[in-house]
Amino acid sequence: MITFGPVQSRRLGKSLGINNIIPPKTCSYSCNYCQVGKTIKKNCKREYFYKPEFIYERVLKHLKKLNKNNYPDYLTFVSNGEPTLDENLGEAIKLLKETGIPVAVISNASLLCFDSVKEDLQLADWVSFKIDAGDIITWHLINRPVADLDFENILSNIKLFRDGYQGRLCTETMIVNGINDSAENISSLAEIVKSINPEIAYLAVPIRPPVEKFVKLPDAAMLNLAWQAFNKMHIKTEFLTGFEGTDTGYTGNIYEDILNITAVHPLREDALYILLQNDGAAYSVVDSLINQHLIKSIIYEGNKFFIRDYHWAV
């Protein structure tokens, strides 16, 4: 369950996802809007998961199954948890760059206190850091970090990383109704992001099923407020508020394609139908995976999504 896609990314074009964290979901955060599900193993210390050579071999194997129209623009570490928890991340990035395809990492930045994490991320061509809160109270409400983390320390280390980074650095902020969409928090967020000076600051909303049912989309007025606050700071800002589309990569193995995508990326029903069509498979495959408790369906904001059914995780 290491590679999936390519999926259409709103930031990176066609993105071949790499899940370098071995289940269960292991993360330093337990964000209330997370699309992957509940954090089962909360941790902020690096550990070993897959060997870098194994990740590299799986990516090469996946790439060989793709036709030229389905080739990825980026190889993206987007994990079942926080990718920088992987002690081998840097070695994996080095190997993957031999493919000639740029490597991206989507991180919550919480482990930048470790010099080894900074060094690993320096190797990536594109890095995005999650910044959802303008103050420590909001940080605890939305990201629910493990006890050993420090909000100000994370922000300081993002700036230290930025000063030496030669690649493309972006930030991403998830805006949740009633949690971090107040005028005060948005103003503080804009000041923090300005101090980091990313190439692009993305403002996102929870368009996929979140782990907590109380998570709701912000209203248009608050989104406009956020845009105006960032624009006032002369920050290049883009919204991530729409559906990426149904253009999902396929390998010919429908079982692996569905399971690998849904491990880290809820699959909307219309995208699933296209995936079945491209893989030449019948809908009975979906019924089989549901009956085996490997995936399940959920309705969110009027759309049906399919997600992994981690029924064993409590």
pLDDT in tens, 95-127: 999 999 999 999 999 999 999 999 999 999 999
Tally the residues of the chain.
314
Statement: 3-308 belongs to CATH 3.20.20.70: yes
Which pLDDT value is given to residue 243? Answer: 44
Report pLDDT digits (tens) over 4-57.
888 878 788 889 999 999 888 999 999 999 988 889 999 999 999 999 999 999
Picking from 190, 27, 186, the residue whose alpha carbon sits closest to that of residue 109 is 27
The single-letter code of the amino acid at 151 is: F
Using pLDDT thresholds of 50, 70 and 90, give the confidence band for residue 313: very low
Q: Name the residue with higher pLDDT: 239 or 14.
A: 14
Which pLDDT value is given to residue 146? Answer: 95
Report pLDDT digits (tens) over 204-232.
888 788 899 999 988 877 877 888 889 88
Q: Are the beta carbons of 1 and 259 closer than 8 angstroms?
A: yes
Q: What are phi and psi of 174, to 5 degrees?
A: -90, 125
Which pLDDT value is given to residue 58? Answer: 94
Q: Name the residue with higher pLDDT: 12 or 243.
A: 12
Residue 272 in tokens: 């699933």
Report pLDDT digits (tens) over 56-92.
999 999 999 888 888 899 999 988 899 999 999 999 9
Using pLDDT thresholds of 50, 70 and 90, give the confidence band for residue 248: low
Cβ count near 41 (within 10 Å): 15
Q: Are the beta carbons of 308 and 289 closer than 8 angstroms?
A: no
Q: Are the beta carbons of 41 and 100 closer than 8 angstroms?
A: no
Assess whether the previous peptide bond of 102 is cis (omega < 30° from 0).
no
Mean pLDDT across the chain, nearest whole number? 87
Q: Are the beta carbons of 33 and 211 closer than 8 angstroms?
A: yes
Dihedral angle at the C-alpha atoms of 85, 90, 95, 99, nearest 10 degrees? 90
Which pLDDT value is given to residue 100? Answer: 95
- 265: Cβ contacts below 8 Å, ≥ 6 apart: 4, 7, 17, 35, 78, 208
Q: Taking the domains of the chain in order of start, what are their residue ranges?
A: 3-308
Report pLDDT digits (tens) over 153-168.
999 999 999 999 999 9
Residue 9 in tokens: 């990314």
Residue 141 has pLDDT above 90, yes or no: yes
Q: Name the residue with higher pLDDT: 290 or 314.
A: 290
Picking from 282, 202, 276, 268, the residue whose alpha carbon sits closest to that of residue 239 is 202
Average pLDDT over residues 270-297: 80
3-class SS string, the chain: CCEEEEEEECCCEEEEEECCCCCCCEECCCCCCCCCCCCCEECCCCECCCCHHHHHHHHHHHHHCCCHHHCCCEEEECCCECHHHECCHHHHHHHHHHHCCCEEEEECCCCCCCHHHHHHHHCCCEEEEECCCCCHHHHHHHCCCCCCCCHHHHHHHHHHHHHHCCCEEEEEEECCCCCCCCHHHHHHHHHHHHHHCCCEEEEECCCCCCCCCCCCCCCHHHHHHHHHHHHHCCCCEEEECCCCCCCECCCCCHHHHHHHHHCCCCEEHHHHHHHHHHHCCCCHHHHHHHHCCCEEEEEECCEEEEEECCCCCC
